[in-house]
Amino acid sequence: MEAVLKTQLPNGLTIHLKEIHTAPIISHWVWYRVGSRDENAGMTGASHWVEHMQFKGTPAFPPTALDKAIAREGGVWNAFTHLDWTTYFETLPADKIDLALRLEADRMFHSLFKPEEVESERTVILSEREGSENEPLFRLGEAIQKAAFQVHPYGHEVIGNPEDLHTMQREDLYRHYRTYYHPGNALIGVAGDFNAQEMLYRLTELYGAAPAGDPPPHPVVREPPSQAEKRLEVSGPGETTYLQISYYAPAAANSDFFAFTVLDSLLSGPTSLNMFGGGGISNKTSRLYRALVERELTVSVHGGLQATVDPFLYDVHLTLRPERSPEEVLAVFDDEIKRLQDERVSEAEIARAIKQARALFAYGSENITNQAFWLGYAEMFASYEWFTHYVQALEQITPEDVQRIAQTYLLPTNRLVGAYLPTGSEAAEDELV
């Protein structure tokens, strides 16, 4: 693995640089430690809305010129807001990367937040949310997330609650921007075809004279331990029944996370932590696929564990066949969980689960954009060493580790079970039970 130059400017800006000279391409990411976890009641969705506003221009980069400039140089760019972070990236031909460097430095400090643009984006985001509300899995997932976190801000969706999206004003968003968008709360990761010392010099030119900014507030909130299983139902339009079974799971920095990853690979099939995925590995050898899909109880099964700062959820999503009931499917699911808790997993099955998880991780880490992604992503919840030691950590997992995770976390008292029950109509109100 190529060496990474890691440094921090006097104003607190963290910089990670990785030279990769396999192609004349550079990928540049700017990460901010702010996400829905940092939002209080009345401000839910602010981080995502601020991300939208970052594409609405600065004095030096009018909004109509941004897309054209990146496209003209043969590049791609985007941004994402998550529970714990917000990130922006550009991947460009190596000789054109200075456009991205100047753009991100400018919008860290000089985004305009014009009132008319704020109102325009309010309409866009409310429309985006309304579109999501037509999706059964969004409805079900939001209901479970809200029920799972009564205290912790993980309880609201990244896009925010409708009432807050209607009432937040330009001043609220601008204050959020100025609180979290500054060098002391940011990390820049660059990978590709460049000289690290020259890149560091350029970034220092762009950011070095800027003030660090005040340390932003990051809530330290502990969700009380679950004492009983929670069940809920959501009804809505459509013809398909879905089940979501969510267990409280460890934070990414917890050593249990790696054993849980292997358990996920064994139980529902490997999933990628990288937002760009990769690999396309089938989950047909997983236990739940064999128990539920092959026996024609469900159409599909998918599991997923997210890397987060605080403990979040391990979700299993099941799409039921029309003739099957949620109770029938849940009973078979629970039999598989009990088998995992009671019977030692074979060495061969563990080896296969580790191999699949390791392969998916490798596929999702190989190109230059993904290499640059990992320079910052792992730092948002742990450290870059978490990424470099990931494969080694997986390979150390034993059958006993997987059984212990199942016995510790996959308990009825530690989970939520949600069912989406279709009404068959085109539109219906949610009903929570």
pLDDT band for 426, please (50, 70, 90 cuts): low
Same domain, 119 and 251: no
Lowest pLDDT segment from 48-52, 66-70, 305-309, 362-366: 362-366
Task: Report phi then psi at 237, rounded to 5.
Answer: -65, 160
pLDDT value of position 433: 37
CB 27 within 8 A of CB 191: yes
pLDDT at 18 over 70: yes
End-to-end CA distance of the chain, in Å? 51
Q: Could you give the 3-state DSSP secondary structure of residue 107?
A: helix
pLDDT band for 1, please (50, 70, 90 cuts): low
Same domain, 145 and 280: no
pLDDT value of position 67: 83
294 is a domain residue = yes
Answer with the one of 207, 241, 260 that is the final residue of a domain.
Answer: 207
Q: How far is CA 62 from CA 28, 54, 71, 177, in A?
A: 21, 11, 15, 18
Same domain, 155 and 244: no
* CA pair distance 327, 333, nearest whole angstrom: 10
* 185 CB neighbour count, 10 Å cutoff: 21
> Domain residues for 400?
230-422
Same domain, 390 and 354: yes
Same domain, 379 and 300: yes
CB 87 within 8 A of CB 30: yes
* CA pair distance 370, 387, nearest whole angstrom: 12
Burial code (b: 16+ CB inside 10 Å, e: under 16) for 58-70 equals beebeeeebeebb
224 is a domain residue = no
CATH value at residue 275: 3.30.830.10
Same domain, 311 and 182: no
33 is a domain residue = yes
Looking only at the bridges linking them, the beta strands covering 230-236 and 415-422 are parallel
* CA pair distance 154, 286, nearest whole angstrom: 29
pLDDT at 277 over 80: no
> Domain total for the chain?
2
Same domain, 300 and 416: yes
